[in-house]
Structure 1
Amino acid sequence: MRKYQLKDKVVVITGSTGGLGQATARALRGKGAKLALLDLDLNSVERQANELGGSQVAAGWVADVCSLDSLEKAMTNVVQHFGKIDVVIANAGVGTPASLEHMPPETFERTIDINLNGVFRTFRSALPHVKKTQGYLLAISSLAAFVHSPLNTHYTSSKAGVWALCDSLRLELRHLNIGVGSFHPTFFQTPMMDAVQSNPAGKAVWNGNTGIWKYVPIETVVAELVEGIERRKDIVIVPKSNRLVASTPGLVRSLIEFIGFDQKRLKKTMQLAEKAD
């Protein structure tokens, strides 16, 4: 496939002020893209836009992925400002380890609403504009779409749902020459992961930053993300060595659980989770 040139393409990023959002915005700006930055705090997105070059190449708007109306207004503002939308990255997300038995119901519901329903709302609000440019939609999922860990029923459900949503939507939009991709990185350094590792149960379930759960550099994650857009890929796995895990989750699930979630450590993890709850 011929490379999708990013120069002067208008790219919308939700959750733009988060760790991955900021790193992605800088990388895309380096490719010459124009950036529409969406997040909850106006001061933060305006400051981010100024740091990336100002209103001709980067502009920020308030948008809440839990509100379709908020996203529709933001997309309209983007088009009024830049004239079009070419690429949309549904990046907003949350994740905190907790056991299903003890987590507040609103924690599960909020995670699904932001991580999964938020992708639906982002794509739904952007579609009328992306249809005009035959653009590309990319949702940030996770390796958690394929590796289903304890203390993450809410998170793994949301990320597996994002993967399925993208697969279905791709079929719906193929005849319009609109690409749809899902992005599945393993662990990398962000404030969200710092919070997970600072939680005793979260650190226990992942055994810290070691073994098969070892972090990859955020630079690697962003480089693969940008290449995924340039190739309009259906699915991006980071690191590439995890492709087997992603392509055959049922076949390797038992092996991953045996290696990654030792029975003794798992019992201790659940005891820690009970204390935390």
Structure 2
Amino acid sequence: MSSLQDKVAYITGGTKGIGYGVAQAMLEMGMRVAISGRHLEATQKAATSLGYSDRVLAVASDVTNLQDENNAVKQILEKWGQLDVVLANAGVGNFGAVDTLSEDAWKQMIDTNLTGAFFTLKASVEALKKSEGYYITLASLAGTNFFAQGAGYNASKFGLVGFTQAAMLDLRKYGVKVSTIMPGSVATYFNDHIPNDKDAWKIQPEDIGKLVIDLLTMHPRTLPSKIEVRPTRPDLK
């Protein structure tokens, strides 16, 4: 994209962590940003804290519900008339050995991390075709590196990486760019973690925000379709 000024983005799971950090980076570049969360009050609170009140929209949506995502995109188009960038960021993690992992925990991860990304794209794809926009998923290094007690999470993120790469091949003929970002340890609220001073070694949400801006401003002829990103140094404790 030659300029990000007034471009319109939709970020799922945008109330905190990586989604919030990306929203901040986009707003600083002059973009208009819609963030979603399952609960409107919390989403509105996050939108207010971002500032830029004339360029932020809070919408309530559960990504596991296609109608919610359709309604979210409809609200964005009604307000701003276009949609240029979508970041499918909403995600959950439930960890445990495969023999003890519950059906509900498995279903929540697959429905949110994988099916949710599909629903977000399904709801926004026609608008992205029209704008020749950008669809980005927030995957994980767990999408290529398996680990004990991660069967469900690995399955959802391996699936998300595969889904995104296939979608890239399907949509590039329309001028739509598609990428997946695969971070390692990030200082976020993921899995009920509260970021603190001990997280200084980790990737910070604003680092992912900068990475997204770099993707959006790269020359249109070039597409980094799968990006692995990790802390420079591991936690030495």
Q: How high is the TM-score relative to the length of structure 1?
A: 0.76
Comparing 42-51 with 64-73, which one deviates more in the overlay? 42-51
Unaligned runs of 5+ in 2: none
The equivalences for 1:208-223 within 5 A come to: 215-223=202-210
- Give secondary structure in 2 for the equivalent of 1:13: strand
Secondary structure class of the residue paired with 2:11: strand
Once residues 217 and 127 of structure 1 are traced to their aligned partners in structure 2, the CA distance between those partners, rounded to angstroms, is 29
2:13 alignment partner in structure 1: 15
Work out the CA distance in 2 between the residues paired with 1:233 and 1:8. 23
Matches of 1:196 and 1:105, distance apart in 2? 27
* Aligned counterpart in structure 2 of residue 239 of structure 1, from 222, 227, 230: 230
The number of residues matched between the two structures is 226
1:224 matched to 2:222? The reply is no
C-alpha separation in 2, matches of 1:42 and 1:184: 28
Distance in 1 between residues matched to 2:34 and 2:124, nearest whole Å: 12
Quick check: which has more Rg, 1 or 2?
A: 1
Q: Which residue of 2 aligns with 1:155?
A: 153
Match of 2:4 in 1: 6
Structure 1 residues 1-277: aligned runs within 5 Å:
4-192=2-190, 195=193, 215-231=202-218, 233-239=224-230
Secondary structure of the residue aligned to 2:33 is: strand
SS of the residue aligned with 1:61? strand
Contact 2:14-2:23 at 8 Å conserved across structures: yes
SS of the residue corresponding to residue 56 of structure 1 reads: helix
**Separation in 1 of the partners of 2:52 and 2:208?**
26
The letter for the 1-side match of 2:211 is E
- Is the CA contact 1:92–1:114 (under 8 Å) kept in the aligned structure 2? yes
What's the TM-score, normalizing by structure 2?
0.88
AA aligned to 1:226 is I
Q: What secondary structure, in the 3-state scheme, does the structure 1 residue paired with 2:9 have?
A: strand
What fraction of aligned residue pairs are identical, expressed as a percent?
A: 27
How many Å separate the matches in 2 of 1:28 and 1:126? 19
Structure scoring higher RCO (CA < 8 A, sep ≥ 6) equals 2
Which amino acid in the other structure matches residue 209 of structure 2? V
Please state how far the C-alpha of 1:5 moved relative to its aligned partner. 2.4
Gaps of 5+ in 1: 198-207, 243-277
Q: Pick the structure with more helix per residue.
A: 1
Shift of residue 184 of structure 1?
0.5
For 1:137, what is the secondary structure of its paired residue?
Answer: strand
**Contact 1:97–1:196 under 8 Å retained in 2:** no
What per-residue deviation string (whole Å, max 9, x for no partner) do you get for residues 79-125 of structure 1?
Answer: 00011100000000001321111121110111000000000000000
Return closer, same or farther for 1:25/1:154 CA change in 2, 3 Å cut-off.
same
Question: 1:191 Cα deviation (Å)?
Answer: 1.2
Q: Secondary structure at the match of 2:97?
A: coil
Structure 2 match to 1:253? none
Question: Which residue type is aligned with residue 96 of structure 2?
Answer: A
1:204-244 residue CA offsets vs partner (Å, 9 max, x unmatched): xxxx98xxxx63333333322321233353122213979xx
> How many Å separate the matches in 2 of 1:94 and 1:23?
17
The one-letter amino acid of 2:229's match is V
Deviation at 1:45, TM superposition (A): 1.7
SS of alignment partner, residue 113 of structure 2: helix
* Counterpart-to-counterpart distance in 1, 2:51 and 2:205: 22
- Contact 1:224 1:236 (C-alpha < 8 Å) held by counterparts: no
Task: Give the 3 Å change call, closer, same or farther, for CA 127–149 of structure 1 in structure 2.
Answer: same
Provide the C-alpha distance between the structure 2 equivalents of 1:194 and 1:221, rounded to a whole number of angstroms.
Answer: 20
Give the conservation status (yes or no) of the 8 Å contact 1:96–1:196.
no
1:177-198 Cα shifts (integer Å, max 9, x gaps):
000000101101111156499x
1-structure distance, mates of 2:2, 2:165: 20
Q: Structure 1 pair 240/227, CA: closer, same or farther in 2 (3 Å)?
A: farther
